[in-house]
Amino acid sequence: MTRTTRKLVVGAALFLSCIACTANSGGNTGPSATASSADQFTPINQLKSISLDGDPLSETETSDTREAPRAVGEVHAGHYRMIAYTQGSSCGLLVVDAKRSKRSLINLVSAWPKDRSEGSQRYAAGPYGLASGAGSDASHSQASLYCSEKAMVVEFTSREDTSTAGQQGQVSLKERQSEPAALVMVVGSDDARKKITDHFK
C-alpha cells in the first residue's frame, strides 16, 4: 500500500510539473513577446552611409549643425536625384537637379516620433513624423517624407518623367498608381523595407 501511495505522489508531481512547463512555453508574455515588430529593425542612423557625386549635401541647410548629415540612400529618377539622409534623430530628403547637383529643388527634414502614440502609422516600422513640400522648379514636383527611427518613406510626384535610372544604398522602389502617379522610395534595413513594400502588393 505504501509503495502504491508513493507512485501516486510521484506521478502527480510529474503531471503538475508538465502543466507548469506547458503554460510557460505556450503563453510567452515576456518583453520580447509584447515588443513591437518595429523594434527588430535596424535604426536608420545605423545604416551604412553612401558617397555622393558632387557632394550636394555640403551646402544644404540642415536641422542640426552639431552633426553632419549622412547620406544613406539615393535614387536617380528622370531629371532628379533624390537623396535620403539622416542627422541625429532626424531624417532628411534632398532633391536636386540631376545635371546640377548644387541646385536644390526640395529639402525636407522631419524628426522621428519619440513616443509610439505620436505620429502617423501610414506604413509599417512606424510611427512616422511627416514633412511635405513642393519643388522650386517648374515641373510642379512634390514630395512627402515619412520619418521613423527604423525607416524612411518618400512619396514623390512630378509632371516630368520620373523613370528610375539607378540607385544606391539600402533602398527599395515602388510605383503607386494614383493621380498623379507617385514614385515611392523606401529606405531601411532589408526586413523593414520588405515589411513596408508588402503594403503595395
Alpha helices of the chain — where are they, by DSSP H? 2-26, 31-34, 190-197
Q: Return per-residue pLDDT of the chain as tens, 201 residues.
A: 444 444 433 444 434 344 344 444 444 433 333 345 667 899 999 999 999 998 899 877 665 666 889 999 999 999 999 999 999 999 999 999 998 888 889 999 999 999 888 899 999 999 999 999 999 877 789 999 999 999 999 999 998 888 999 999 999 999 987 777 899 999 999 999 999 999 876
Cβ(84)–Cβ(185) below 8 Å: yes
Do 152 and 171 lie in one domain? The reply is: yes
Do 76 and 7 lie in one domain? The reply is: no
Do 25 and 91 lie in one domain? The reply is: no
- Count the domains in the chain: 2
Do 17 and 93 lie in one domain? The reply is: no
Do 189 and 90 lie in one domain? The reply is: yes
| Residue owning grid cell 511627416 | 130
Q: What is the DSSP letter of 43?
A: P
Measured CA to CA in angstroms, residue 199 lies from 55, 66, 110, 186 at distances of: 33, 36, 22, 12
Do 57 and 27 lie in one domain? The reply is: no
Domain range for 8? 2-35
- The pTM assigned to this predicted structure is 0.78
Do 6 and 96 lie in one domain? The reply is: no
| Residue owning grid cell 513642393 | 134
Question: Residues 149, 147, 77, 41: is their CA dihedral positive or negative?
Answer: positive
Do 160 and 129 lie in one domain? The reply is: yes
Do 31 and 113 lie in one domain? The reply is: no
The pLDDT, as a whole number, for residue 178 is: 74
The pLDDT, as a whole number, for residue 181 is: 82
- The three-state secondary structure class of 144 is strand
Cβ(125)–Cβ(195) below 8 Å: yes
Do 7 and 104 lie in one domain? The reply is: no
Do 70 and 20 lie in one domain? The reply is: no
The pLDDT, as a whole number, for residue 61 is: 66
Phi and psi at residue 60, in whole multiples of 5°? -85, 135
The pLDDT, as a whole number, for residue 140 is: 84
Q: In this structure, what C-alpha cell is assigned to residue 140?
A: 510642379
Do 138 and 165 lie in one domain? The reply is: yes
